[in-house]
Amino acid sequence: MVNPSAPGSSAAAVDLSLVKELDSAFRNLDPRGRLSLLRERVAGPLVFTTSFGLEDQVLTHWIAGAGLAVSFVTLDTGRLFPETHAVWAATEQRYGIRVRAFYPDTVSVETLVAAQGIDGLYASKAARVACCTVRKVAPLGRALRGAAAWITGLRADQSAARAGAAFVASDSVHGLLKANPLLDWTRGRLAEVAAAENIPVNRLHARGFLSIGCAPCTRAVAPNGAERSGRWWWEEESGRECGLHLTPDGRLVRAGAAS
């Protein structure tokens, strides 16, 4: 079992046999079954991080509908779209939940902006990664503190890098189990569920914004364009990640791996 009292301490906090068991079991279940099994098998707090994109809205619908004991959290970077805040409010009202926000450290943001300017993230990948680290990666560490497992909306078809992700893996960075219950789902299937269930979605999706993050780093995607091609478009296509799903050496964690 996961040791919820020692989050982030080491990969040893995660029972790799449980990781392998769940990763295998997920393959024969639908996402709702995966969520239920995760809650049943993992002792300790489960945290679901949402950015209010299509995947996250469907997961919220299923988690709230099943009454699962899962905490909803989000990372408010200070540079989100107004439309993201709007769907955040609509989600809380629809499901009677509170999505806890984690914000970047004020001094760290002030230091970052003083060093690189308000839009210095465009100057280089290193500058952009520094911004993501302050505004997203550091707050995520606080959001996951004390958690036994982290639920994400990551899908294998979102990018080449994510195609190698596992259903369930050991996240050595945070010392917990990481679950991706939508890994084998497509955007089309999620859109069908959202429409059929009248799930609140970000209005920017209808304007071609398929993957939505911070406003300076997100733009609409051309028709038939890759889903994440509107994120950090000024950089090389490979490795377009903010750092939330990466190990320190820049890799996505895999099933049964300690890193």
- The catalytic residues are 242
Residue type, 130: A
- Compute how many other C-beta atoms are within 10 angstroms of the C-beta atom of residue 38: 23
For CA atoms 37, 150, 86, 54, the dihedral sign is: negative
Task: Kindly list the distances between the CA atom of residue 17 and the CA atoms of 41, 44, 168, in Å, as whole numbers in the listed order.
Answer: 12, 17, 11
For CA atoms 164, 167, 170, 173, the dihedral sign is: positive
Residues 245 and 16: their CA atoms lie apart, in Å, by 19
23 contacts 169 by C-beta, under 8 angstroms: yes
Report the candidate in 74, 44, 80, 48 with the shortest Cα–Cα distance to residue 61: 48
- Compute how many other C-beta atoms are within 10 angstroms of the C-beta atom of residue 108: 14
Contacts of residue 144, Cβ cutoff 8 Å, sequence gap at least 6: 7, 8, 47, 49, 150, 174, 176
